[in-house]
Structure 1
Amino acid sequence: MQWILFDKDGTLIYFDQSWTRIGIQLVDDFIERYRASIADVEQAYKDLGVVDRDILPGSVMASGSLEEMIAHFNQIANRDVSDWVKEHSQTLIDQREPDNEWVDGVYEMLETLRQRGYKLAIVTSDTRKGTEQFLEATDSEHLFDVIISTEAHAVEKPNPEVLKPLFEQHEVQPEEIMMVGDTPNDIQTAINAQLGYSVAVLTGVGEKESFTQADRIVDDATAVLDILNDI
């Protein structure tokens, strides 16, 4: 392996509860706006994974892509609400005040990887603004060679095109890359892009049972050092 790609929220840092608040707010606003088209409001919340004012692990609101969320919203509203979901979710994200707490030992692991000559990248579904806030708050921009964020209307994980900036800027083969993330979409990105190795971590929203396609499932990202020694 030459490159290690890391998801951010739930992988490098503990899952940011502001994402939960945003997700619930998005569902609340959606149901309020399209209530006349929704047959069963209580069932709509359940279908989206919002129960008792929390988001259920493994649900579309917990770990689904924006496209998957939109598909659920469209089905529940029985109409195309794609533009509203994209624009409103972006507004909520822009207003977010993120938490940025490193997973224990991860910062030190990143420094060790750099010392050993590995190239490091962030591939996140967060926006450029949120990612820059993270880098500034944690003083960690120097650790990463490539930073890929996701803006509204752009491709996102698990679409392999999300990795286009990496391949355009650096001479690297897919089999020389490891992907580390906390959701099935992270692992599916590795599969779709034919990356060399995928590691699922349990510090985020993904459930262990959902990582059947990962090469390794570990408690947290610090295990990457041992995995690299093994392979």
Structure 2
Amino acid sequence: MKWILFDKDGTLIYFDESWNRIGMQLVDDFITEYRHDINDINEAYRALGIIEGKIQPGTVMASGSLQDIINAFNNLTNKNVSQWAQERSQALIDQRVPDNKRVEGVYSTLKTLKSRGYKLGIVTSDTKKGLDQFLKATETTQFFDVVIPTEAHAVEKPNPDVLKPLFDQFDVEPYEVMMVGDTPNDILTAINAKLGYSLAVLTGVGEKEDFDQANYIANDANEILTILDEVK
């Protein structure tokens, strides 16, 4: 194994509650904007994974990609709301104030991985602005050889093309790469891109039962140091 790719939110930092606030606001705005096209508003909230004002784990609003969310919106309105959803989501993200609280011990883990000669990267559904804020707040810029954000209209996990910047810039084969993340989409990215291994962590939105396709499941990203001893 030569490369380790990390998701950001819920993997390197504890899940950022600002994402939940954005998700809730996006759904509220969607319901308001398209209320005349929705048959049952209460059922629409439930279908999107919101119960008693909270986003439930394992639902589309908890761990789905923006395209997954748009598909759910389209199903509820029987129309294409893609442009509205993309623009509103981007506007909310641009206003976001992230938490960026590092998972305990992860700074030391990244330092150890670099000392062992691994190349490290970040693949996130956050924007470049959010990624830059994370790197500055956590003081981890020096550890990463490639960082891949997701801007508006770009491909998203689990589309394997999201890893194109890695394979375009570096001489590396998919089997030499491990993906570490906290959602099923992270694991599916590894599968779709035919990466060597995938590691699911439980510091984010995913539940253990969501990760039956992962090669490994760990409580947090720090356990990768032990796991890598097994995959050499």
What TM-score does the superposition give when structure 1 sets the normalisation length? Answer: 0.99
Structure 1 residue ranges without an equivalent (≥5): none
Query: What pairs with 1:159-178 in structure 2 (closer than 5 Å)?
Result: 159-178=159-178
Superposed CA deviations along residues 30-57 of structure 1, whole A, max 9, x for unmatched, are 0000000000000000000111111000
Superposed CA deviations along residues 122-142 of structure 1, whole A, max 9, x for unmatched, are 000000000000111111111
Q: Is the aligned partner of 1:93 residue 2:71?
A: no
Identity of aligned residues (%): 65
Shift of 1:201: 0.3
What residue number does 2:147 align with? 147
What residue number does 2:13 align with? 13
How many Å separate the matches in 1 of 2:164 and 2:227?
Answer: 26
SS of the residue aligned with 2:30? Answer: helix
Query: What pairs with 1:57-206 in structure 2 (closer than 5 Å)?
Result: 57-206=57-206
How many Å separate the matches in 2 of 1:67 and 1:137?
Answer: 29
Runs of 4+ in 1 over 4 A off after TM superposition: none
Structure 2 residue ranges without an equivalent (≥5): none
The two structures, once aligned, show a CA RMSD in angstroms of: 0.5
Residue-pair matches, total: 231
How many Å separate the matches in 2 of 1:177 and 1:118?
Answer: 10
How many Å separate the matches in 2 of 1:34 and 1:116?
Answer: 53
Query: What pairs with 1:26-45 in structure 2 (closer than 5 Å)?
Result: 26-45=26-45
What residue number does 1:22 align with? 22
Shift of 1:117: 0.5
Letter in 2 for 1:10: G
How many Å separate the matches in 2 of 1:179 and 1:82?
Answer: 29
What residue number does 1:55 align with? 55
